[in-house]
Structure formats: C-alpha cells, structure tokens
Amino acid sequence: MTMIQVRNLMKSFGENHVLKDISIDIAEKEVVCIIGASGSGKSTFLRCLNRLEDITSGHVLIENVDITSKKTNINKVRQEVGMVFQHFNLFPHKSVIENIILGPMKARGVPKIEAEQQARELLGKVGLSEKEKAYPASLSGGQKQRVAIARSLAMNPKIMLFDEPTSALDPEMVGEVLQVMKQLAKEGMTMVVVTHEMGFAKEVADRVIYIDEGLIVEENEPLQLFNNPQNERTKAFLSKVLV
C-alpha cells in the first residue's frame, strides 16, 4: 500500500524556488533516507509532508488523503504523521511524561491514566523509564531526542518524519538515538529520514534519495546509490561526504 504520494510538488519562498518538481511514492513500512547538501530543500520537503509548510503547487497524499485540499482536516492527518526535529523541540515547561501525554490527551482525547500508562511503556522502549518526572533542561541531547521520539510515537502515528535527528548531538550520543530508530524500522514503521548518517542509511534504508537544488537527482537502494551512483552530481556529493 502507498502511504505517501507526492505529485509535482513545488514550494517557493517568494522568489526562492526551493522545491521545483518533486514526485515520489513511499510505501507502507518503507524507510526512505533523504540526503543532499545544505540548503538543497530537504527540510522543506519533509515539512511539506505534514503541511508545516504551505505547498505552492502540486499534491501530497497521505493514505490517499490529499493534504493540499482545503477540505482536509490537517490536524487529523498530523495525528498520523509524527515528526522529530533536529533541535528536539521538547516543551521545556513540562516534565518528560507531560510532554508525552499532551498530544494523546488534547488531540485524541485519551484519558490521563491511559495516556500515562502508554507514555511509561514508550519511555521503557526508548530506555528512559527513570526520567519520567525529569524536565527537559536536565536531560542530555540524546535523552531529549529519545523523549521527542517517544512523544511522537504516543500518537500511534502511521508515518514518522525525522529531520536530521542526530545532527545537534554530541558524537557519543548519536548511537543511542539511531538505535531507537533502527528498532522502529524493524517494527515496520514507515519512515522518512533526512540524515547525514550514511551508515544508518546504508543499514536501515530501503531507498535513498539524493536531492539537489529542489529536485530529486537520483534514488536507489542504498548500496546501489552509495557504491554505484549514476549521476555526476550524486558522485560529487558522495565523494565529499563518504570519506
């Protein structure tokens, strides 16, 4: 089944045409990694998938629902599409568990007891059971990102979007976050991951997409794309990042 369909997606900020013409299908349980140079439009693309950015033209369908349509209740769609940010964006005035139960309680109307129970299970899953009452300020970067992932998962999303989830982390904390993401992939989550972690892409991705100047230049299975890139621009990019 196709989870995400993108058709002729274009996105401009004024005169700056960031996404020029992007079409792609992403299947259920597929893990897609997006790579590309800084400013090439990776984040913008990801943010169009849950309409954090308004789409200039084209269509994005999530489970066959056109989120560009005015009639679509975007809040409902977003409940099914989790997003993890480079800078975590935890709510600093709320404890770890309060961060996690906010979405289920307010967006889905889950009773508090139930939401807390689920939050504890998720905290166990990301290895942070003992941090339930802690505030974000007291956590390390890796812990923050794992809480952020748990917070997204609490909505029971069908799709998870990750925008450079490990870029803001100290090197020694990258592993613990990638570990959680690998586990998710194994459980069959549909994932779109913007990343500079080529090792992760190689190991986990079903498909890697190279974006440059707002266009998909090349896409392939990770081993194919990394070892045998077809396009000159892909080659140039990879030679810079794969040292």
Tell me which residues touch ligand ATP (CB under 6 A): 13, 16, 18, 36, 38-44
Please report how close the Cβ of residue 226 comes to ligand ATP at its closest, in angstroms: 18
Can you tell me which of 43, 68, 118, 234 binds Mg ion, judged by CB under 5 A?
43
How many alpha carbons lie under 13 Å from residue 94 in its C-beta half-sphere?
15
Name which of 41 and 157 has its Cβ closer to ligand ATP.
41
- Sheet order of strands, 159-163 included: 81-84, 159-163, 190-194, 31-35, 207-212, 215-220
3-state secondary structure of 168: coil
The footprint of other proteins (CB under 8 A) covers 50, 52, 75-76, 78-79, 81-83, 85, 87, 89-93, 95, 102-103, 106-108, 135, 148, 151-152, 155
Q: How far apart are CA 43 and CA 167, in angstroms?
A: 13
Check if the beta carbon of residue 49 is closer than 8 Å to that of residue 194. Answer: no
Computed over its alpha carbons, how large is the radius of gyration of the chain?
A: 18
Taking CB positions, which residue lies at the least distance from Mg ion?
43
Residue 141 C-beta: closest distance to ligand ATP, Å: 17
Min dist. Cβ of residue 155 to other proteins (A)? 6
Please identify, using beta-carbon distances, which residue of 86 and 220 lies nearer to other proteins: 86
